[in-house]
Amino acid sequence: MSRSGDKKPVGFGTHIVAGGMAGAAEALCCQPLDTIKVRMQLSRSGNAPGTKPRGFLATGGMIVRRETPLALYKGLGAVLAGIVPKMAIRFASFETYRGWLADKSTGKTSTGNIFIAGLGAGTTEAVLVVNPMEVVKIRLQAQMHSLADPMETPQYRNAAHAVYTIVREEGFGVLYRGVSLTALRQATNQGANFTAYQEIKKLALKLQDLPELPSYQHMLIGLISGAMGPFSNAPIDTIKTRLQKASFEPGTSALSRISSIAGDMWRREGFRSFYKGITPRVLRVAPGQAIVFAVYERMRKIIERMSDFEAEKDSFSE
């Protein structure tokens, strides 16, 4: 029996279904952590002398007290609307790039080329899906209105209304504000993520002499691989979040905007401000990747078995 690492890439339809379900499961489980992360990154708490920045638990508690627990799911509509194409593009593009970079004689892809394929997958998903989705999500998450008070009207009612309002008032280009930082973040995330996942998975299969790993092991490997990206690119993510929330004069270049935000953070808040929200981000991304890989691998197996069954049924009917 061949090992999973030697199997040919699965079809694009499988990536859409398995990846979409995996992404939806991740979003539903981890959205509260992402909302807390965004609020921490946007927070100016701790600037006054003798005060400390508001921490992870304190930020979450403040949101729940002031805005109800449902506020932790602000922006979920934007995330769910983009999660299916995002995951389909991530897995499909990774497999495509990995196939292009594989050794033509053996069909195997080296560790370095797996990292390059991950960089390509992260950049592709950032440009096509992630950046517009995150601009909308961050605008929704940044609204500090109470869901328990119907008289307190937010600027954006939902994801669709946010897209309409942003495009109407600020132009379509705003949805791509910070795309260079998003692409850099996603590229480093997926480069590290896919490389670590593939290599640890390969080692686990070899050590246990198994054709397939059980779901809990996919989850553990995804947890480890998912934690690597946030530590390497936290400053990029924090600057990107503030860039996508801020308003600038028309005609200001992307580089000057990024430099202005980074310089202001350094002068006013110090080095630690670049790592604001790192705790909820790691707690969000690492378990999120554990869920994604476990659900994706399970759904892929189910779809492959269903396809094999249909193929066998068709062969008997001929």
pLDDT digits (tens, 9 = 90+) for 87-106: 888 988 898 899 899 998 88
- Average pLDDT of the segment spanning 6-14: 59
Could you give the angle at the alpha carbon of 82 between the alpha carbons of 76 and 87, nearest 5°? Answer: 115
Report d(CA 90, CA 121) in Å as an integer.
Answer: 5
- Average pLDDT of the segment spanning 302-318: 71
Q: What is the pLDDT of residue 167?
A: 93
Confidence label for 3 from pLDDT (cuts 50, 70 and 90): very low
Report d(CA 32, CA 46) in Å as an integer.
Answer: 23
Give yes or no for residue 173 having a pLDDT over 80.
yes
**Six-digit token pair at 21?**
């379900």
pLDDT digits (tens, 9 = 90+) for 63-88: 999 999 999 998 888 778 877 788 88
pLDDT digits (tens, 9 = 90+) for 82-92: 777 888 889 88
For 203-220, give the DSSP string.
HHHHHHT-SS--HHHHHH
pLDDT digits (tens, 9 = 90+) for 197-223: 999 999 999 999 888 899 999 999 999
Confidence label for 133 from pLDDT (cuts 50, 70 and 90): confident
Q: What is the pTM of this model?
A: 0.71
Report d(CA 314, CA 298) in Å as an integer.
Answer: 25
